[in-house]
């Protein structure tokens, strides 16, 4: 088994939201020992195309033959609200830290956190709003207005009524304003413009990014670059090509969902190559750890159903940001990535 990747490090990204507040940090680890620990070999190269007819992965250095291939190429973050600070992850923590400094210095009085159209995983933006309020209050900046603007019918609606109610309660308790059923469009001259109509006055706007698929040559994709897969992760009609994660058409782009897709694809590949197993299909369960600045909230929902749970105690173990049947214990064992204990 071989993994093709251009990176030297494994970057555990979910805690990027905590870095500007000194409440956590993105952790980086050498990738090769992790790959070897999983029983694979790392080849450092960048994939540029796929040739399914010849069963070849095309890379910057040449071609690599395959019996089966799993694509996990992610997606590209792009600006969705012109004029805003687009928070994509570690690369934007310093910019957000600068915004906090300006607010503490009295130069910023109104901050809007904006969820653009098409963003299906807005949890990090709610974390940023809650952590910003907590930090400003702790440091005496009580006169800064914070608002969340979102197209959702209710805050964090992806977790159903229990999740929305819990988040709404948190926002109200922290004095954070909420505008639902609005789509942030652009920020200019102190005004965030909304659709279908309206505006919000602001000194700064922080927005989630919109994702664009990689559109790998040789692989079926929609016009956004995302790849269609079946319940076992197979891409289109290709029997030897599988995909998992943000590059797929599954609407929710989230690390835990990606691990579930990968588990389903791995079982299907193993069965295809002769393992005596019955592959289990991808049945998504959404788990989210919401950082609030005080007690975190654990949210769990079965997508496509009304079943959802919210608790201040962990609903899974290890209680990590990225939850996976195999991945989470693997990382916890090798890297110590357990962010919250039961104590």
Orientation of helix 327-335 relative to helix 255-272, angle to 10°: 110
Q: 220: exposed, middle or buried (C-beta count within 10 Å: 0-12, 13-18, 19+)?
A: middle
Q: How far from the centroid of its chain's Cα atoms is residue 239's Cα? A: 28
- Using pLDDT thresholds of 50, 70 and 90, give the confidence band for residue 338: low
* Measured distance CA(136)–CA(141) in Å, rounded: 5
- 152 forms bridges with which residues in the sheet? none
Q: What is the pTM of this model?
A: 0.93
Percentage of residues in the chain having pLDDT higher than 70: 97
Q: Which DSSP string do the residues of 137-175 spell out, in sequence order?
A: HHTT-TT-EEEEE-SSSSTTGGGHHHHHHHHHHHHHHHT
330 pLDDT band, cuts 50/70/90, is: confident
Contacts for 122 with CB less than 8 Å, ≥ 6 apart: 115, 150, 152, 156, 158, 208
Strands 9-12 and 27-30: antiparallel
pLDDT digits (tens, 9 = 90+) for 139-191: 999 999 999 999 999 999 999 999 999 999 999 999 999 999 999 999 999 99
CB 176 within 8 A of CB 144: no
Bond from prior residue into 82 cis (ω within 30 degrees of 0) = no
Question: What ranges do the domains of the chain cover?
Answer: 78-210
**Residue whose pair of structure tokens reads 């214990």 in the numeric block:** 329
Length of the chain: 343
Instruction: Reply yes or no on whether the pLDDT at 320 is more than 80.
Output: yes
pLDDT tens profile 16-48: 999 999 888 888 889 999 999 999 999 999 999
Please, which pLDDT band fits residue 337 given cuts at 50, 70 and 90? Answer: low
Pick the range with the lowest mean pLDDT from 51-55, 114-118, 252-256, 305-309: 305-309
pLDDT surpassing 80 at residue 115:
yes
CA angle 252, 13, 121 (to 5 degrees): 20
Q: Is residue 235 within 8 Å of residue 242, measured between CB atoms?
A: yes
pLDDT at 340: 45
> Which has the closest alpha carbon to 252: 321, 157, 129, 149?
157
Please state, in angstroms and as integers, the Cα–Cα distance from residue 265 to each residue in 92, 187, 215, 271, 342, following that order: 33, 42, 20, 10, 32
The rounded mean pLDDT for the chain is: 94
Query: Rounded to an integer, what distance in angstroms lies between the CA atom of residue 281 and that of residue 268?
Result: 9
The alpha carbon of residue 88 and the mean position of all alpha carbons in its chain are separated, in whole angstroms, by 9
| pLDDT 10s digits, 197-238 | 999 999 999 999 999 999 999 999 999 999 999 999 999 889
pLDDT confidence of residue 225: 96
Per DSSP, 82 falls in state B
Confidence class for position 84, pLDDT limits 50, 70, 90: very high
The pLDDT value given to residue 342? 33
Using N-to-C axis directions, what is the helix angle for 123-138 and 93-104, rounded to 10°?
30
> What is the rounded CA–CA span in Å between residue 245 and residue 227?
10
Considering only the top CATH level, what class is 78-210?
Answer: alpha beta
Q: What is the dihedral of CA 300, 302, 303, 305, to 10 degrees?
A: -120
Supply 92's token pair.
């934007």
Residue 336 reports pLDDT greater than 50: yes
Q: What is the pLDDT of residue 81?
A: 98
**Over 60: is that where the pLDDT of 339 sits?**
no
As a 3-state breakdown, the chain gives helix, strand, coil percent values, each rounded to 5, of: 25, 30, 45
Handedness of CA 17, 19, 20, 21 (dihedral sign): positive
DSSP code per residue over 286-301: EEEEE--SSS-EEEEE
């Amino acid at each position: 088994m071989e993994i093709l990747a251009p990176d030297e490090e494994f970057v555990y990204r979910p805690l990027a939201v905590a870095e500007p507040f000194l409440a956590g940090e993105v952790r980086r680890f050498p990738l090769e020992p992790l790959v070897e620990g999983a029983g694979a070999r790392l080849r450092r190269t960048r994939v540029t195309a796929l040739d399914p007819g010849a069963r070849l992965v095309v890379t910057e250095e040449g071609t690599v033959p395959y019996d089966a291939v799993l694509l996990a190429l992610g997606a590209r973050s792009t600006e969705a609200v012109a004029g805003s600070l687009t928070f994509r992850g570690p690369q934007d923590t310093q910019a957000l830290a600068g915004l906090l400094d300006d607010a503490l210095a009295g130069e910023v009085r109104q901050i809007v956190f904006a969820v653009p159209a098409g963003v299906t995983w807005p949890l990090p933006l709610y974390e940023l709003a809650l952590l910003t309020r907590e930090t400003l209050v702790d440091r005496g900046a009580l006169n800064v207005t914070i608002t969340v603007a979102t197209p959702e019918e209710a805050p964090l609606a992806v977790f159903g009524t229990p999740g929305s109610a819990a988040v709404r309660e948190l926002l109200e308790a922290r004095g954070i304003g909420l505008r639902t059923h609005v789509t942030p469009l652009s920020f200019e001259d102190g005004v965030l413009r909304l659709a279908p109509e309206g505006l919000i006055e602001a000194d700064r706007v922080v927005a989630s990014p919109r994702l664009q698929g990689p559109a790998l040559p040789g692989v079926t994709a929609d016009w956004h670059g995302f790849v269609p897969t079946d319940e076992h992760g197979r891409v289109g009609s290709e029997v030897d090509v599988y995909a998992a994660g943000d590059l797929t058409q599954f609407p929710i782009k989230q690390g835990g969902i990606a691990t579930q897709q990968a588990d389903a694809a791995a079982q299907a590949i193993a069965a295809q190559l002769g393992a005596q197993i019955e592959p289990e299909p991808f049945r998504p369960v959404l788990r989210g750890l919401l950082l609030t600045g005080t007690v975190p909230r654990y949210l769990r929902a079965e997508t496509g159903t009304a079943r959802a749970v919210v608790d201040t105690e962990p609903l899974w173990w290890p209680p990590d940001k990225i939850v996976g049947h195999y991945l989470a214990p693997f990382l916890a064992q090798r890297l110590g990535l357990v962010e919250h204990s039961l104590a």
